[in-house]
Amino acid sequence: MDFSSLPDENTLLATLQALNARNIATEVVDNRSEALKTLKAYLPDTAEVMTGSSMTLDQIGFTDLLKSGNHPWVNLKDGILTEKDPKKQADLRRTATLSQYFLGSVHAITRDGQVLVCSGSGSQIPSYSFSSPHVIWVAGAQKIVPDLGVGLRRIEEYCFPHEDKRMKALGAVGASLSQIWIVRKSAAGRIKLIFVKEVLGI
């Protein structure tokens, strides 16, 4: 199965409706520049922002914007990365799971509105599942799959090998597929998802 192809409009619409029915407020944008504009509009001035590692956030330009400091938000990740003491840095990472806004992406979305996230460390999952009051995901529409079974295949056969190769190219040991989290329903008003009609992320 080709896990990198964009879906047709009917599939995209059906998935959007299913996500909204599960209290994951979803909207569709045409391209990465619109995704960045929409994401910025979701963030109020002075919001505390934490991001998970996300190729999608990199590709739409949000990561560079956050690093630049040319914005009105509080960048919690900056404080983590500048802390050199490993214990203090770990403590800051735990504290950041309580951030007001936690941003990232996901790895598969079923047509009936279930969302799959895989993780090596599990560091983003507390924020995604409970501790952050606002969660925003940005995802390329190619991540839509027919059902949970195919979603798990997408993670194991497509996402993991690509991430493992990417990390090794950066000189790291490689990726670890330690946890897979499935969202069936969310508390109303907590999670937003921006679908982009482009192939973004893995």
Q: Which domain holds residue 138?
A: 9-106+124-144+186-196
Task: Name the β-bridge partners of 140.
Answer: 196
* Residue 174 confidence (pLDDT) above 80: no
84 vs 37, residue with greater confidence: 37
CB proximity list for 109: less than 8 A, separation 6 or greater = 15, 19, 115, 116, 139, 143, 144, 145, 151, 193
Rounded Cα distance, 138 and 140, in Å: 7
Q: 118 in a domain, yes or no?
A: no
Per DSSP, helices labelled H in the chain are: 9-21, 32-42, 55-59, 62-68, 76-82, 86-96, 125-126, 148-153, 160-169
Asked if residue 29 lies in contact with residue 38, where contact means CB atoms within 8 angstroms, the answer is: yes
Q: How far is the CA of 121 from the CAs of 53, 91, 182, 185, in angstroms?
A: 11, 15, 16, 23
Task: Name the β-bridge partners of 193.
Answer: 26, 137
Rounded Cα distance, 29 and 197, in Å: 6
Q: 202 in a domain, yes or no?
A: no
User: Which pLDDT tens digit goes with each residue over 78-99?
Assistant: 888 888 999 999 898 899 999 9
Q: 34 in a domain, yes or no?
A: yes
Please choose, from the candidates 132, 154, 135, 152, the residue with its C-alpha nearest in 3D space to the C-alpha of residue 143.
Answer: 154
Q: 180 in a domain, yes or no?
A: no
CATH number at residue 53: 3.40.50
Q: 39 in a domain, yes or no?
A: yes
DSSP state letters, 76-103? HHHHHHH---HHHHHHHHHHHTT-SEEE
Q: What is the pLDDT of residue 167?
A: 79
The total of structural domains in the chain comes to 1
Q: What is the arithmetic mean of pLDDT over 22-26?
A: 98
User: Which pLDDT tens digit goes with each residue over 109-166?
Assistant: 999 999 999 998 888 999 999 999 999 999 999 999 999 999 999 999 999 988 888 8
Q: What is the pLDDT of residue 131?
A: 96
Q: 168 in a domain, yes or no?
A: no
Q: 88 in a domain, yes or no?
A: yes
pTM: 0.94
Q: What is the arithmetic mean of pLDDT over 7-35?
A: 98
Q: What is the pLDDT of residue 200?
A: 98
